[in-house]
Structure 1
Amino acid sequence: MRVLIVQSKTELGALWARHLERLQATVTVVETGDDALVLLQKQSFDVIVLDLVLREGSALTVADFANFNQPRANVVFVTDTTFFSDGSIFSHSANARAFVETGTPPSDLAAIVHHYGNSASRDGRAAGAF
């Protein structure tokens, strides 16, 4: 399972990555939306963990580009704000699969990501299987 984490807070992205690596995921961490867009042009991912509020770039742009370029990649949005707390993120992002708080325990986030990564692989929908 290949996972892209887009998280402006370096330490938090690294923490999430360690938990996912324990579940045998191959993880790439970037801090900006622009870095994520570059990677999405070069590599395939099963799951994208995407902070809704990035310091640089737009999370919705990243999700939209992923939906266009890698339509089988599942997006797990995380946030520490109340934006989209009504669940409307699922209307704005066709590839959104989950929406959780940034403070979610890393092991719980890893379990969510693992679920969506494995379900994509079981369904033959891995990001590389266009």
Structure 2
Amino acid sequence: MQVLIVESNASLRWLWQRHLERRGFAVELAGSQEEAAEAISERTHDIIVLDVVLEEGSALAVADYASYRRPETRVIFVTSSTFFSDGSIFALAPNACAVLPSGTSPDDLVTVVEHYGTRS
């Protein structure tokens, strides 16, 4: 299964990557909207793990671009904010399948990726 992680925090990207790769996932990393758009346009991913707040660019623009270029790809949003706790992210991003707190344990994140990735 192919996973794209879009996260500004390099340490968190690396942590999630290591846990996913240990479970056999192929993982690609992006730290910005531009890097994510390039990855999405060049390769197919089953799941995108996407931080709602990117330092460079817009997470919703990444999700929108993925929905256009790769409509079969599902997006798991992660956030350190409570802004989307009402579920409104699902109205804004039709490819959203889950919203998790950034502090979710890496093992739990892997389980969610595995669950939704096998459904795509």
TM-score in same-fold range (> 0.5): yes
The offset of 1:82, in angstroms, is 1.5
Q: Which runs of 5+ in 1 are unaligned?
A: 121-130
In 2, the alpha carbon distance for the partners of 1:7 and 1:102 equals 10
Alpha-carbon offset, residue 29 of structure 1: 0.9
Of all paired residues, the percent bearing the same amino acid is 48
Maintained 8 Å contact 1:30/1:36: yes
- Structure 1 residue aligned with 2:105: 105
Point out 4+ residue stretches in structure 1 off by more than 3 angstroms: none
Deviation at 1:105, TM superposition (A): 0.4
Show the counterpart of 2:93. Answer: 93
Any unmatched runs of 5+ in structure 2? Answer: none
Letter in 2 for 1:68: Y
In structure 2, the residue matched to 1:37 is: 37
Q: For 1:69-88, what aligned pairs fall within 5 Å after superposition? A: 69-88=69-88
CA RMSD of aligned residues (A): 0.6
- What TM-score, normalized to structure 2? 0.98
1-side partners of 2:41 and 2:106: how far apart?
28
Aligned counterparts of 1:109 and 1:3: Cα–Cα separation in 2:
12
Separation in structure 1 between the aligned mates of residue 118 and residue 10 of structure 2, nearest angstrom: 26
Give the 3-state SS of the residue equivalent to 2:87 in structure 1.
Answer: coil
Separation (CA, whole Å) in 2 of partners of 1:83 and 1:55: 17
